[in-house]
Amino acid sequence: MKFPSAAIAASLVCLIVAPVFAQTTPAPAAPSTVPVPATKRVTCLGATQSLKGQDKRDQMQLCMAQARLDCLKQAIDQKVVGAARKSAIKTCLGGDGAEQQ
């Protein structure tokens, strides 16, 4: 039963790596610069960068599936329905929906 532990490990890595990517501070020389939050895809890429080949693809798919599930749970908690839910999930994932495979 290697699959459930791999899924749990990928989820934990995403939870650990996400705050690291989110911690950005604006440069003192450019106070008008607004930090751009990392997308969930970037977080997953960071979590899988040490892997190669099929392991990397598998962990990336698991991480993105977990990210989609987290966004769906958030939309459900906020009672978002219909087309607004689809839009909210895309926004939560990080924008244009290119993350979906």
43 lies in a domain? yes
Tokens in use for 11? 């989820």
CA distance 23 to 92: 18
Decide if 70 is inside a domain. yes
Domain count, the chain: 1
Q: What is the DSSP string of 38-76?
A: PPHHHHHHHHHTT--HHHHHHHHHHHHHHHHHHHHHHHH
pTM of full prediction above 0.85: no
Range of the domain at 83: 2-24+34-93
- Residue-by-residue pLDDT tens, the chain, 101 positions: 455 555 555 665 555 655 555 555 555 554 555 555 678 888 999 999 999 999 999 999 999 999 999 999 999 999 999 999 999 999 998 865 444 44
φ/ψ of residue 55, rounded to 5? -60, -40
Separation between Cα atoms, residue 28 and residue 20, nearest integer Å: 20
- pLDDT at position 52, please? 95
